[in-house]
A = this chain, B = another copy of it.
Amino acid sequence: MGGITQVSSNRVFGGYQKIFSHDSKELGCKMNFAIYLPPASEEKKVPVIYWLSGLTCTEKNFVEKAGAQRYASENGVAIVGPDTSPRGLNIPGEEDGWDFGTGAGFYVDATREPWSKNYRMFSYVTKELPELINENFPVLPNSQSIMGHSMGGHGALICALKNPGQYRSVSAFAPICNPIKCPWGKKAFDGYMGSVDCNKWADWDATELVKKYQGPPLEILIDQGKEDQFLKDLQLLPENFVQACTNSQMPVILHMHEGYDHSYYFIASFIGQHIQHHMRYLAA
C-alpha cells in the first residue's frame, strides 16, 4: 500500500478495525488514522463516513468507545477517523493547554506563525486523507459523508459547508456551532489565525458559513445532550446555528436529549441513528 503502515488490526463485527500511520505532507509529521472495513468491503467498494473527534482525542477514542462498528458492519460502510492535530512538532506552546495545539487542531488551516506551516487540519481531512483512503482502500470515492463530535462536530459542519458536493451528508454530536462566539473558538482562532483580521474567522464558523452556502441541499443532523456541561457553558451554541439555518432555508434536525452529557456514552447511544442518516444518502 502506498505510503501507509499498519499499526494494528482487530477483527470486530465480522470486519476489521485497523489503525495506520503515514507521513502527512500537509502537516509535516507522522499521523495515525483509523479505518473500519466492514465485511462487505471484502467483495466490493463501499461508501465511507469520515469521523472527526473532539478536543484531547486521538484516532483511538472513537474506535474504542463509540460502538460504531456494529452499525457500520450491518450497513456495509467504512468509517475513517483521523487524529485531531499534528503531533510531536515541538512548536513552542503546543502542549500548554488541552484546548489549543496538540489534540486541538480545530480542523482549520492556520495562517499565523508558528502554526501556519503544520496546523493545516482542514486541508488534511478534506484533501490529503481522502486521497490516501481512496488510493489504498476499497471505498467509493464519490460516496462519502462526514460526522464528528464537539470540536469535530464543528469540523464536520465546516468541511461540508466549505466543500459543496464533496460530502453527501453531514451530522454532528454536540458540535461547537459558532466558534467565533465561544471561548474555545475565540482562543483557537486567535491562536491559529490572529486577531488582525477577525472577519476571516467567519470562513471557519459553521453558523456564518451556512448563511452563504450555495450547493446541493444538506439535511444536517445534530444531536445534543441537555445535561452537557459545555452546552451550559455556552461553548456549543446550537441555537445560533439552527437560527442561521432557518433564516437560510437550510434543512436541519436538532434533537435535544434529556439527561445526556458530552461523553462517548452519549455518542454510543445515537451513533446508530447517525449512520442510518448517512446511509440514506450514501446508498442512494
Interface code A254-277, partner B: CB below 8 Å = 1, 0 otherwise?
A: 000101110111101100000000
Least Cβ distance of A38 to chain B in Å? 13
A70 contacts the other chain (Cβ, under 8 Å)?
yes
Q: A12, B65: Cβ atoms under 8 Å?
A: no
CB neighbours of A227 from chain B (8 A): 11
Q: Which of B12, B65, B268 contacts A13 (CB 8 A)?
A: B268
Q: B266, A12: Cβ atoms under 8 Å?
A: yes
Q: In whole angstroms, what is the CA distance A260 to B11 when docked?
A: 5
Q: In whole angstroms, what is the CA distance A64 to B260 when docked?
A: 16
Q: A261, B11: Cβ atoms under 8 Å?
A: yes
**Interface residues contributed by chain A, number (CB under 8 Å):** 23
A169 contacts the other chain (Cβ, under 8 Å)?
no
A225 contacts the other chain (Cβ, under 8 Å)?
yes
Q: In whole angstroms, what is the CA distance A260 to B13 when docked?
A: 10
A67 contacts the other chain (Cβ, under 8 Å)?
yes
Q: B67, A10: Cβ atoms under 8 Å?
A: no
Q: A69, B265: Cβ atoms under 8 Å?
A: yes
CB contact list, A1-36 vs B, under 8 A: 10-14, 17
Q: Which of B14, B70, B265 contacts A10 (CB 8 A)?
A: B265
Q: A269, B12: Cβ atoms under 8 Å?
A: yes
Q: In whole angstroms, what is the CA distance A144 to B217 when docked?
A: 51
Q: In whole angstroms, what is the CA distance A27 to B74 when docked?
A: 44
Q: Which residue of B lies closest to A263 (CB)?
A: B10
17 A-B contacts (beta carbon < 8 Å) = A10-B261, A10-B265, A11-B227, A11-B257, A11-B259, A11-B261, A11-B266, A13-B268, A13-B269, A14-B269, A64-B264, A65-B65, A67-B67, A67-B268, A69-B265, A70-B268, A70-B269
